[in-house]
Amino acid sequence: MVIDFTTQSNVANAGTDFVEATGQLTIAAGESSGDITVEVLDDSDVEGEELVLLTLMAVSGATFAAGAINETAAINILDNESVISIPIVADDFTIIEGDTETPSTLTLNLDRFGSLSGTDTIEIEILAAGTNPAQASDFVDGFSSTQVTFAPDEETKTVDIAIAADEEIEEDETFGIRLTNVGGSAAVPSEELIFTILDEDLSISSTSDQNDNNTLVLDSGEEFRFTITANGNEVGFSQQLVAIAVDSETSLMSTLGNISGLPDTFSTDNLFVGGIRLETGTFRFGLQNPNNGTITPLELSNVTSDGFNLSGGGLEIAVTIPDGTEQIFVETTTVGEETALGVEITDGVNNAPNAQVTVSATLHREAAFDNTIGFYLIDAANDGAVIDPLTGQAITGSTSSNRLGHLQAAIDNTLISAAAPSNNQTSLIDETFDITNLDTDVQLFLVPYLISSELPSDFSNMYSSFLGTNADGAEHVRLLSNNAFGFEDLAGGGDNDFDDIVVEINGIQVI
């Protein structure tokens, strides 16, 4: 039998992976097979198995199976090279330092590609490298090395590097990982891989130990929780706790005044606001008088990696890093060109068209007027427009810049209304309401209002958390804690104690 043959490139390439071959094979009478030789070229590329096609044509003497004249055979070229790599993306080059309670571990996955037929032993070495090299003390095992062995057909190995936790305030540090093949033929990266340890210790320092300027230095932005406790020497009117930077003032939270006496039922101990972020900079702290804007400086002390203390004006203020467990019910948000105080429920609605909301709250009173408290919905993303809970749509002409239209819409779409309790008594709110046909891009806030005594047609004694909707242009509601706010019910700001009605939010449920 006479057979013509020729090679044909498939995955393998002629000239680099094999030598092209064309010829004729003769299988003599009485013989059952013959040999065709294809020369395979060796290279250093890691490329896996590659395919060469061999085209056969029966010229004379016999045919292939089923009488076929043409047939194609496949030749597999097995790669004899392999490589070890660490497949990582950008974020994988960093590891948070962690602390003693939650130490960090960098996990490296080593993948082997190409020929898996042999055994490879790889050494992984930690070394000082990069722009700000780490120290041996930054690792549980110091600058060390370890080995892993790939058995035949094994593709992946895992190595854990334990980062040593500390509370030292320091810059981010870098280190290198070097791979060396100490037993086998697999190639490894020729350069070290550079990783960064991210320092998350509180970056604050204080000069108060050296001088009396009570200055806090923040080397990076940080969120804080401010907890206020009165020591019996506080002033009678509500003040704003402010952080004073070189060129700005940031209002943090309000203190509670007591000119006419606090509601006996409401505790002023441990009022806190968490999640307040201060950016990099130098700060002093003070209490601002709402009547004349003067600021009483606060004394800074006990600065540590966990926080610091402030004192003055009859108040003791503990400042710590929030642990993420406290519930934040009441907050302020930017609406147009002003801010509003309320209860954010957008996250609970979670872009659903319909929602059912249950509000549980306690009302505390120390006031001469028989006030009424109400709540209504606004869309903070739409200039504070009032939301109709039945249609889920913003009411035309009800934005916070349109005083009468806004307040009328608030009355017409009140979701919760409650009369104040008797003096130094409490009353409970436990109300459920439905919202339907919501747009997916709304930013829903449940906003409070107070009606002082009877409501006239000009809404002159209806006070919202929107300053622009108040007829006297005065502030009438202030944030006292993450779950409480206080009302001032006298026109023009009255005595500015913000304790006439205190609303304490006990729980919000959105389903």
* Residue pair 465/229 in contact by the 8 Å Cβ criterion: no
Q: What are phi and psi of 194, to 5 degrees?
A: -100, 130
- At 275, the amino acid letter reads G
Residue 117 has pLDDT above 70, yes or no: yes
Residue 200 has pLDDT above 90, yes or no: no
CA distance 252 to 241: 5
- Is residue 377 very low, low, confident or very high in pLDDT (cuts 50, 70, 90)? very high
CA distance 217 to 300: 11
Task: Find which of 284-293, 299-308, 397-406 is predicted with most confidence, using mean pLDDT.
Answer: 397-406
pLDDT score, position 246: 65
Average pLDDT over residues 227-238: 76
487: left (phi over 0), alpha (psi -120 to 50) or beta: beta
CA distance 478 to 502: 10
Residue 330 has pLDDT above 90, yes or no: no
The encoded tokens of residue 414 equal 């009140």
For domain 209-320, give the fold: Jelly Rolls (2.60.120)
Residue 167 has pLDDT above 70, yes or no: no
Residue 340 has pLDDT above 90, yes or no: no
DSSP, residue by residue, 408-472: HHHHHT-SEEEE--STT-EEEEEEEEEE-S--TT--EEEEEEEE-SS--TT-TTEEES-GGGSTT
DSSP 47: -
CA distance 109 to 445: 46
- Is residue 363 very low, low, confident or very high in pLDDT (cuts 50, 70, 90)? very high
pLDDT score, position 92: 66
pLDDT score, position 398: 87
- Is residue 149 very low, low, confident or very high in pLDDT (cuts 50, 70, 90)? very high
pLDDT score, position 46: 66
Residue 211 has pLDDT above 50, yes or no: no
pLDDT score, position 270: 66
The encoded tokens of residue 367 equal 């006031």
The encoded tokens of residue 149 equal 């062995």
Residue 129 CB coordination number (10 Å): 17
- Is residue 224 very low, low, confident or very high in pLDDT (cuts 50, 70, 90)? confident
Using CB atoms within 10 A of its CB, is residue 433 exposed (0-12), middle (13-18) or buried (19+)?
middle
Task: Dump pLDDT digits (tens) for 34-70.
Answer: 999 999 988 777 676 788 999 999 999 888 888 899 9
The encoded tokens of residue 332 equal 């302020």
The encoded tokens of residue 56 equal 């056969």
pLDDT score, position 129: 93
CA distance 164 to 126: 13
Q: Which residues have CB under 8 Å from 48's CB, separation 6+?
A: 79, 113, 114
Residue 13 has pLDDT above 60, yes or no: yes
Residue 112 CB coordination number (10 Å): 22
Task: Dump pLDDT digits (tens) for 483-510.
Answer: 889 999 999 988 888 889 999 998 888 8
CA 388, 411, 377, 340 torsion-angle sign: positive
Pick from 440, 436, 433, 391: which is nearest to 414 by CA? 433
Residue 209 has pLDDT above 50, yes or no: no
Mean pLDDT estimate for the chain: 85
- Is residue 89 very low, low, confident or very high in pLDDT (cuts 50, 70, 90)? low
CA distance 447 to 444: 9
- As beta bridge partners, residue 204 has 218
DSSP, residue by residue, 256-278: PP-TT---TT---TTEEEEEEEE
CA distance 76 to 266: 83
Pick from 375, 322, 369, 361: which is nearest to 483 by CA? 361
**pLDDT above 90 as % of the chain:** 35
Structural domain boundaries of the chain?
A: 2-77, 82-198, 209-320, 331-510
| CATH of 2-77 among 2.60.40.2030, 3.40.30.10, 3.40.50.300, 3.10.20.30 | 2.60.40.2030
Across the chain, which distance is largest between two alpha carbons, in Å?
A: 123
Residue 233 has pLDDT above 80, yes or no: no
Q: Which residue has the higher pLDDT, 490 or 232?
A: 490
- Is residue 453 very low, low, confident or very high in pLDDT (cuts 50, 70, 90)? confident
CA distance 174 to 193: 10
- Is residue 401 very low, low, confident or very high in pLDDT (cuts 50, 70, 90)? confident
Pairing of strands 222-230, 271-278: antiparallel
Pick from 223, 284, 277, 215: which is nearest to 248 by CA? 284
Residue 90 has pLDDT above 70, yes or no: no
Residue 203 has pLDDT above 70, yes or no: no
Q: What are phi and psi of 408, to 5 degrees?
A: -65, -40
Q: What's the whole-model pTM score?
A: 0.57
pLDDT score, position 208: 41
Comparing 205-209, 359-363, 492-496, the range with the smallest average pLDDT is: 205-209
Task: Dump pLDDT digits (tens) for 254-281.
Answer: 777 665 567 778 877 667 887 788 888 8
Q: Which residues have CB under 8 Å from 474's CB, separation 6+?
A: 467, 488, 491, 492, 493
CA distance 271 to 269: 6
- Is residue 321 very low, low, confident or very high in pLDDT (cuts 50, 70, 90)? confident
Using CB atoms within 10 A of its CB, is residue 237 exposed (0-12), middle (13-18) or buried (19+)?
buried
Pick from 372, 222, 385, 183: which is nearest to 306 by CA? 222
Comparing 82-198 with 209-320, is the CATH topology the same?
no
Q: Which residues have CB under 8 Å from 444's CB, separation 6+?
A: 344, 345, 346, 349, 377, 378, 379, 380, 387, 435, 438
DSSP 292: T
| CATH of 82-198 among 2.60.40.2030, 2.60.40.420, 3.40.50.720, 3.40.50.2300 | 2.60.40.2030
Q: Which residues have CB under 8 Å from 379's CB, separation 6+?
A: 385, 387, 394, 442, 443, 444, 445
